[in-house]
Structures are given as C-alpha cells and as structure tokens.
Amino acid sequence: MRLHIINSNSDGNCYLFTDNEGNTLIVECGVRFEKIKQAMNFDCSKVVGCLVTHEHGDHCKGVKDAVKAGLDIYASAGTIKGMKMDSHRLNTIEKGAKFSLGPFDIIGFDVHHDVNEPLGFLIRHEEMGTTLFLTDTIYCDYTFPGLTNVLIEANYSQDIIDDKLSDNRFLRNRVIQSHMSVETAIKTLKANDLSKVNNIVLIHLSDRNSDAKVFKKRIEDATLKTVTVATAGLTIDNFNIYPF
C-alpha cells in the first residue's frame, strides 16, 4: 500500500491510499480537485471512492468537481447536509456500519468537532491491515483493536497556545474546543494496543501552533514507533500490515 499526502493542514487535506493493483481510496477532498487528478496522473478510473470526515472547506472544497468527474463521495448525513450540495454521488455513511469500497473495508465513527456530524474512519485492506484515520476532533471516545497504521491529528501543543494565544481567548477556545493537541494524541495512541503498528502519521498540524520536529520526537518517545509528520507531496511506500 502506498500513502500519498496531497496536503495536510487547515488550508486543505487529502490523502490517497493506493494498493498494489492501483485501487485508490481518497480520504478527504479538501484541495482543488485538479490537484488530486494531477497526483493520479489524470487517471481516476481506479478510484474506489472518496471519504469525507466533515464539511469544513479544508476537508471538502474539491467535492463539487470530484462529483462532476464521476467520483462517489461518502460522508455522514450531517456532513452531506452541511456541504449544501445535491447529487446522487453523495452517499451516506451510517456510523458503526461496515461498508466496502473495492478492496477497502470501512467503518465510520463519531468524533468531537464544531460541526454537525463529523466522523473518523477505520480502514481495512489486506495489504495495510487496520488503519485509523482521526482528525479534527478534541478527543476520541473509542479504542480500536488490531491497529497496524495510524493517521492522527496533532494540531497544537498546550504550551504553544498558552504562549501565542494568551491574549486571544476566542481563538484559543476555538482551537481547544475543536482540535486535538499533541498531548491528547499521545493519550489516544497509548490507550490503544500499538504492538502491531508500523506507521504513525501526524496530520493537520497548525501552521502557527505546532512544532513538527518537537511533535515527532514527543510521539516517538511516547510510543517507540516510526513517526512521520504529514507534509504536502509526501509519499510513504510501505504503508503495510507488516513492516517490510
């Protein structure tokens, strides 16, 4: 399995999971669709679908053009409503119900963000095992058995916002009440059995309230796992069930 990150921050989010057969699952459509096409060499024929966690622009701004290009979008009923669009290509995900897109099995679960019905995803594929996709949430209510790869938000750290946003209570509260801190990411990871995890990818770092180097080190020290900070254009080739 190959993971390609088109972008990962509050400007836009989009992640491509491509298996050995070329089947591609798109997670988040928060960049211009043109960029997604480019990343796939303008061939969308092997896209099995596109999951969207919620209706904020940095997660869904490309949906309109993706739909026009014939891609199927999957999101909660609340998110579909929030996107204010009408198309037979918008498919509703029922929380907790497993569904399949090509060789990918998916379960959506509820998270805590400042929108109607945001979701996180568990994505299974025989090449990569069980992957957790968790972003734009204050914390996570669940633990997940048998994880092999994790993408998790590490938006800010407590000390950085205490320092930088001490005189902007409104913005500070908005961040705390909608995004995951690196401290909570550590707690969330440690609440799960990580013994089979090969990759931890930190996503959606805030431009001003994060420090990529420090966050990577903190998560490495806490988990003793391979940690990568998501950056635009990055590819991880062995996003697999086994570490080889």
State which residue has the least CB distance to Zn ion: 56
Which range in 56-64, 120-128, 194-202, 207-215 contacts Zn ion by CB under 5 A? 56-64
Q: How far is the CB of 135 from Zn ion (least distance, A)?
A: 7
Exactly one of 2, 4, 56, 218 binds Zn ion (CB under 5 A); that residue is: 56
Q: In this complex, which beta carbon is closest to Zn ion, that of residue 150 or of residue 222?
A: 150
Q: In this complex, which beta carbon is closest to Zn ion, that of residue 128 or of residue 229?
A: 229
Contact flag: residue 136 with Zn ion (CB under 5 A): yes
Q: In this complex, which beta carbon is closest to Zn ion, that of residue 43 or of residue 171?
A: 171
Q: In this complex, which beta carbon is closest to Zn ion, that of residue 127 or of residue 136?
A: 136
- Using CB under 5 A as the binding rule, the residues of this chain from 14 to 53 that contact Zn ion are none
Q: How far is the CB of 131 from Zn ion (least distance, A)?
A: 19
Stretch 89-128: interaction string toward Zn ion, x if CB under 5 A: ----------------------------------------
Which range in 16-24, 57-65, 151-159, 162-170 contacts Zn ion by CB under 5 A? 57-65
Q: In this complex, which beta carbon is closest to Zn ion, that of residue 152 or of residue 222?
A: 152
Q: What string of H, E and C letters represents the secondary structure of 66-104?
A: HHHCCCCEEECHHHHHHCCCCCCCEEECCCCCCEEECCE
Contact flag: residue 58 with Zn ion (CB under 5 A): yes
Beta strand 147-153 with 129-134 is parallel
Q: In this complex, which beta carbon is closest to Zn ion, that of residue 79 or of residue 198?
A: 79
Q: How far is the CB of 196 from Zn ion (least distance, A)?
A: 28
Which range in 99-107, 120-128, 135-143, 209-217 contacts Zn ion by CB under 5 A? 135-143
Those residues whose C-beta lies under 8 Å from the C-beta of residue 50, and which sit 6 or more positions away, are 25, 26, 27, 28, 29, 63, 66, 71, 72, 73, 74
Rounded CA-CA distance 210/215 in Å is 8
Q: Which two tokens stand for residue 123?
A: 């994505």
Those residues whose C-beta lies under 8 Å from the C-beta of residue 19, and which sit 6 or more positions away, are 1, 2, 103, 125, 127, 128
Q: In this complex, which beta carbon is closest to Zn ion, that of residue 56 or of residue 125?
A: 56
Burial of 153 (C-beta count, 10 Å sphere; 0-12/13-18/19+)? buried
Contact flag: residue 55 with Zn ion (CB under 5 A): no
Rounded CA-CA distance 85/68 in Å is 12
Beta bridge partners of 241: none
Rounded CA-CA distance 180/152 in Å is 9
Total binding residues for Zn ion by CB under 5 A? 3
Sheet holding 199-203, edge to edge: 99-101, 104-110, 119-125, 129-134, 147-153, 199-203, 226-229
Residues that bind Zn ion (CB under 5 A): 56, 58, 136
